[in-house]
Amino acid sequence: MLHTQLRAFHWVAREGSFTLAARALAISQPTLSAEVKALEERYGIMLFLRERRGVTLTQAGQALQEITHRLFAAEQEALELLSGHRALTGGTLNVGADGPVLAIPLVAEFTRRHPGVKLRLSLGNAETIRRDLLEMRLDVAVLASPTIDPRLTGLPLGRDQVMVMMPASHRLAACDHVDPVELTKERVLVREPGSMTRRVVERVLAEAELVLTDTIEIASREAQLAAVKAGMGLAFICKTEFSGDSDMVLRPLQGLRIDLDEYVLCLRDRSRLGIVRAFLAVGEAMAGA
């Protein structure tokens, strides 16, 4: 009984919604709500604040969620061992990435090696993907990171250079390098605050005592590329993300090099799971290729 109630709590906390949690557990929402309510009444404690847009964990709920994360991670590992999941003939792997360029080849190779595993790929900015990995919504993640969180482990995939993208007709396109001071005279299209590219660019420019005075925030890489092509402004993107469009060019900054280190990561506590190790092995093989 307690285990069932804890599982109900865990999934509501994980999904942030009774509706989504019920769907994930394949049970009715009233049944799920009854389990959570019974747990709260059993111990006389409120675990969630119910709001119209969803639920929010109370302080006690946050503390319990940390415990249930460990509890159900251990349960999953035990089930994997007992069911022979290590043979990778089934199961589901949830992968997150802050961009498709590195993630798609990894996912493609993993599915080629392990066709019996169902795979889900989610894309988002680095901050969102990192949070989902830490909250166990994802099993592994491919993302740029200047530092490694001690709760995570993984391996480096490579280093990507951040450059300035502009229309081939732009006045700065005639230069081999872009003087960073020139950027203060231009409109620059920036990603949302959770973007690692934006975070690193802002840090490097701040160290050079430069401030972008005319910016437009665009919360999608694809929309950003389209906006640059439409002549709305310049943008910072990773070199590997450039499509090679003949109407566009990439230029490095003069005297300033901006790099992003790319990793494939997982929770340290889940690194022994066979399905996670198998994905890391693919990353290691491709990084060494």
pLDDT at 243: 80
Residues 48 and 115 grouped into a single domain: no
Domain of 195 in residue numbering reads as 93-289
Residues 247 and 117 grouped into a single domain: yes
Residues 61 and 104 grouped into a single domain: no
Asked, for residue 224, whether it belongs to a domain, the answer is yes
Closest CA to 234 of 187, 169, 178: 187
Residues 74 and 102 grouped into a single domain: no
Asked, for residue 240, whether it belongs to a domain, the answer is yes
pLDDT at 70: 85
Question: What 3-state DSSP class applies to 280?
Answer: helix
Chain centroid to CA 151:
15
At which of 83, 111, 128 does a domain end?
Answer: 83
At which of 83, 113, 146 does a domain end?
Answer: 83
Residues 69 and 150 grouped into a single domain: no
Model confidence pTM above 0.85: no
Number of domains making up the chain: 2
CATH classification of the domain holding 179 = 3.40.190.290
Q: Which residues contact 236 (CB under 8 A, 6 or more apart)?
A: 162, 163, 164, 165, 188, 190, 197, 198, 201, 258
Compute the distance between CA of residue 121 and CA of residue 138 in angstroms, rounded to an integer: 9
pLDDT at 128: 92
Mean pLDDT by 10 residues, the chain (289 residues): 90 90 91 93 92 87 91 78 65 90 94 92 92 90 82 91 94 94 94 90 92 91 90 93 87 92 91 89 86
At which of 65, 83, 101 does a domain end?
Answer: 83
Pick left, alpha or beta for residue 123 (phi over 0 → left; psi -120 to 50 → alpha; otherwise beta): beta
Closest CA to 134 of 126, 288, 29, 210: 126
Residues 106 and 63 grouped into a single domain: no
pLDDT at 218: 93
Residues 196 and 62 grouped into a single domain: no
Residues 182 and 50 grouped into a single domain: no
Contact 5, 39 (CB under 8 A): yes
pLDDT at 87: 65
pLDDT at 82: 66
